[in-house]
Amino acid sequence: MNSDGHAKIAVSGDRGLHWSKSKDAGTPFGVQNAEFAEVIAGDDERAAFAFLGTQTSGDTQSADFQGVWHLYAAFTYNSGLTWTTVDATPTDPVQRGCVWNQGGSNPCRNLLDFNDITVDKFGRVLVGYADGCTRSCVTDPTQNASTGPASAQDALATIARQVGGRGLFKAFDGTQFGTQSGVIEGHGKLCFGDPASGIQGDPGCKTNN
């Protein structure tokens, strides 16, 4: 993250000898503070950048910080010239309040910076993160990691997975993203389309995941 807290990212084409001008991936959502950046590259020109972000400015380490945090994922398909950012948790905050970056027993240390990012064999991005705002915290704006209750100080291991758009491997462009698991309702149908290619998922498929 930049010194101003923004989610800025730059690209190097020569193993770090030179870097492009950084781009603020949080701009489309007005992100003023970001934490826990994770980046992964795929084929040439493609990469993904995940981070926690809030539209609230100020000191994220303060017990009085009132920011609401979401998980964001940004994608580039042209070596960082442009980034497309999505809110991966639009109706389910990851944290309410401060995000502690130091040690000790601070109540806002619940997330612990265990986030990670990877891709599956098709180039679909998966982000592992700790969800600090669960159960009643999701819809109750009065809850806060600094003061509780427990639902606002959680650390639930969670995975966000890409279910549409282009992935990081060109060979799979235009294919349907989703799951073929027979365990879910849908009996092996491809449940999600690829909006970037105009491919629609099977309308008869319902999934619980």
The residue ranges of every structural domain in the chain are 8-163, 174-209
pTM of the model: 0.85
- From residue 14, alpha-carbon distances to 18, 20, 29, 128, 158 in Å are 7, 11, 31, 29, 34
Using pLDDT thresholds of 50, 70 and 90, give the confidence band for residue 165: confident
What are the tokens at 34? Answer: 């970001």
Q: How confident is the model at residue 198 (pLDDT cuts 50, 70, 90)?
A: low
